[in-house]
Amino acid sequence: MSRNFFVLINPQSGQGKSRKIGNKVSAFFKSQNIKFTLFETRNNCRGSQTVEKNLTPIYSDLMIIGGDGTINEAINGLKIDLPVSFIPSGSGNDFVKNISIGSKLETQLDTALHGPINRIDLGLCNDRKFINGVGIGFDGQIAADMMHRKVRFLSGQLKYYYHVLHILGSYKYRDFDLTIDRVPQRQNLILLTVANGTTFGGGFKLTPHAKLNDGKLSVCAIGMLSPLQRYLKVLTLQKGSHHRLKEVSLFDAKELIIGANAELEAHIDGEYFNQPPFSVSILPAALQIRASLF
């Protein structure tokens, strides 16, 4: 079967950087006589709808140009089992930190054409799939604040860090009603991250032990760190060395249930996702990707 790429692009991703990348991808495919069709996400037609409606068996590959949110949209519209490749152009691009596709566009295109196909797990939160993870508590509040509080003079990662620092010292721990692999428990936490990947917020390795193909959810639970400790230890989260802190618990699970709590906000793959209750589980080997795994 000759290759025929379904290319999904979010023209708003990366402050318009995606559109420029899309033009280069189009020129490359034309120069190589490779079939492709470019589809843009729109405000009135989300990426999941675009993929579900238009991606038919005539296509051999799905290519996603955008950030983590665009990837999430695409996998939730994907109904055909075919290889997916990635051209990152978002602000954080956390998912691609788990795979090897190259840092330059030329290398990423070569990976899309000739890279190895690997199967990876996906997560499922209620009825929505995720590729990287779900964050509940502090990082969910960041996503909510970024959506509701506009900071005109900042964008991208600087905007994210602004919101982190704005509530890092003042965010209060919350009561989590949890069921982990059928064992009920209550915990007072600042955040709970349920992950498939390792990295969040553009570079925080909250779940450094995570593997994309191990059939497990990787979990980071952070308890009652004092405001001063949060500022002092924030670099350990970037390095992935926070497991040394007694307030931090890293573990694996197959299923988590988070009870209803109006004080908790959540994100899924970096995009705001409302409030619990949530039922989170793993979908083993659910997605083909063209990339090497670390």
Q: 4-115 and 130-284 share one CATH topology?
A: no
Out of 2.40.50.140, 1.10.3720.10, 3.30.565.10, 2.60.200.40, the CATH code matching 130-284 is 2.60.200.40
Domain 4-115, CATH: 3.40.50.10330
Q: Where exactly are the structural domains of the chain?
A: 4-115, 130-284
Whether the CA torsion 78, 84, 87, 91 is positive or negative: it is positive
Tell me the pTM.
0.94
pLDDT in tens, the chain (294 residues): 699 999 999 888 767 788 899 999 999 999 999 999 999 987 656 899 999 999 999 999 999 999 999 999 999 999 999 999 999 998 889 999 999 999 999 999 999 999 999 999 999 999 999 999 999 999 999 999 888 777 776 666 777 778 888 888 899 999 999 999 999 999 999 999 999 999 998 889 999 999 999 999 999 999 999 989 988 888 898 889 998 899 999 999 999 999 999 999 999 999 999 999 999 999 999 999 999 998
